[in-house]
Structure 1
Amino acid sequence: MKLCVIGAGYVGLVSGVCFAALGNTVVCVDQNEDKIHQLRAGGVPIYEPGLKALIKDNVEQGRLSFTTDTAASVEAAEIVILAVGTPSLPGGEANLSYIEEAACEVADAMNGYKIIVTKSTVPVGTNERIQNWIASRTNYPFGVASVPEFLREGSAVIDTLQPDRIIIGASDPHVSTVLTTLHEPLTTNIVTTNIRSAEMIKYASNAFLATKISFINEIANICEKVGADVTRVAHGMGLDQRIGSSFLSAGIGYGGSCFPKDTQALIQIAGNVDYEFKLLKSVVEVNQGQRFNVIRKLKEALGDLEGATIGIWGLAFKPNTDDVRDAPALDIMQSLLEAGAQIRAYDPIATANFRRLLDSSEVTWADSAREAAEGCDALCLLTEWEEFGDIGLGELNELMKYPIMIDGRNVYSEEQIRQSPFAYYSVGRPQMNNLDVDRYQSVVNP
């Protein structure tokens, strides 16, 4: 099939490339000329394992191209996929201005029947608005559909090519049949429904996953007070097939471009129909507070943070991505700077993006994990990059001024810590002090 994907951001680019890999002819459209130039030159504007090689292969096969010309791309396509951003407005609701702009551009370029598919995450009822926007600008027939994406950054290519399910909310049976044919090479687990239900499925799915994260973090906070180990609690819970083990890893909370935005949007959607989503409001509140436990534990270990040098491992909101949107590291580092601390920070690939959000003279941007740890009074592990766990605690002890670690992702095991000289604070596990913390308080804060 001939596809036009409008929006070469995370969702649009990955989706377009994967559709090309299935043998379709795909044109990815974006108004950012620098991005299109980069893609045409063989570069990739985002970090995603396997994506660059997949782009190269499909461009060479003639199935994939990139352009800023929306009109020509729409004219040549059978299916037009809208994958533009829907950022949050100050009140939490989704900003649909990019969707409306894209829909109007599609309408103005139509030269015959098209199927318009929305992959962007949009509030319930948005596709009806898209249908009205297009119908007001063209006399050509068209169908609309909502086919939400469920990809995870860091494994987006695999998630797209090997999805758990495909959700198709279609305006009519013909649209449903065509889109089922398009997606059948990916999975036979295809759910067809009405458009409003498809729109809601995306929000409900992300809200539930966010709820699991906040729930296990609340359990972790209780575990710290009663002497239980949340990793063992989560393992025991996850063996129950009704619960499952996914998204039961306690830590410093979720971030990124999806969960924060979608939870706030769903709260707003509920509010628009006079319903207070109390549960989801609590999920958001718990998540926001969870990241600041890092600061509390640092103060417990060091006392006053003014003048202390704190190492930061991990700036991306999760490993295997360079996405720093709503990353816990941002709030944590801002709090450290406000407390008068100096910071040595490192991330394998996200540093450049992070510096656009926070660039202070009090932050040293290290080129390696070891460099970030060197001379630090304490080290905070905020993103569970694999390379961090590969560094031995004995080596870390030699690098750091004082062996104090706040492990926000429970990377190190109890056995590893027991054999080390560290004062170790993790999430939902007993604190392990193998040094005299009071002694170090007097050294760091004379």
Structure 2
Amino acid sequence: MLINKILIYIIFFPHVQNPNSSLSADGNYEVRYKSNVLIYPTGEVLWVPPAIYQSSCTIDVTYFPFDQQTCIMKFGSWTFNGDQVSLALYNNKNFVDLSDYWKSGTWDIIEVPAYLNVYEGDGNHPTETDITFYIIIRRKTLFYTVNLILPTVLISFLCVLVFYLPAEAGEKVTLGISILLSLVVFLLLVSKILPPTSLVLPLIAKYLLFTFIMNTVSILVTVVIINWNFRGPRTHRMPNWIRRAFLQYLPAILLMKRPRKTRLRWMMEMPGTSAQTYPTSYGSPAEMPKQISAIGGKQSKMEVMELSDLHHPNCKINRKVNSGAELGIGDHGRRESESSDSILLSPEASKATEAVEFIAEHLRNEDLYIQTREDWKYVAMVIDRLQLYLFFIVTTAGTIGILMDAPHIFEYVDQDRIIEIYRGK
């Protein structure tokens, strides 16, 4: 009867260990279960002890959460050199057999090559051999994209909407500070996920820092906008360069059209001098007679005043009065009335005219005050619109530039296909 293999319970084996391993998964470095050893007629000995090793691996978090890591596991003999123990890859497979691999929910296997390293010695140093396995894994990004990337991107673009709120709302700074606090929460979350290292700055931390800086700048600009929005002629005088830049040039560039002014233009065009200084048919106020012919046969003290400028430009009233026919003055008065539009006012009417002029002057000052306030508000609105465009462009460019810097962000990993390749079939 031919015996193909023999089970041996006691056999010498070289101490082939993993120099990178610190301890086994169960806390014991040695193999706890001593399985049987198979000896073939050819002299080959097969010993497959079940063991799970926990090996240290240098993690590069530069592109977290779109990072790819390369872990190295090196196996060699601690007690025998290459002349005493010859290491070789099983069945000449230059990769890790993934026949019993169970897919991970956090990492994808990309590649698992294996290399046999032979270090030729000289007269003083013997030959050394070891087998090195390179385990290249890539992080699954769905969890971090949904729970970290998308909220951060939405918050960063929410900073742009700060400049769309009107300055009178009073919620611009409140919204900016609320967004700032949200970013602080995300920064604390990232600091708990990543290992505390100062070698590199993770990609997500770069983006959060960029968004944090943009939000801080937006709050500073918002404070300036609110300050300019509530300025008035009593406290600030608008410089000419601000008037030209923010009321003439920038609105045209930003495609902004200011509503038409709604003030009483005809009132703004009224003369601002008093009634006693108006030219009359008598040349000057000093030459006015104290008594002239009365209207309707009655005598009274009258003053003459020109009112041609007090009429609305669209007024159709014929203001030329035939003084000779209606007022009963002589030929001299008739000739003077033809050269000057004049009517006669009583003292009460003169006082009423002065009151109307005072009201008109008050309305002019009030309209000027309101117009200056509106100019400052429009300047603040132009700055708001300018910052809206600038922050949208900078935020979009920063988002694309930082997130697209990851080399494997759009690469799809077919995990089933990779496992099938490395099954050793």
Alignment TM-score, normalising by the size of structure 2: 0.20
Q: Which has the higher contact order (CA 8 A, sep 6+)?
A: 2
Alignment TM-score, normalising by the size of structure 1: 0.19
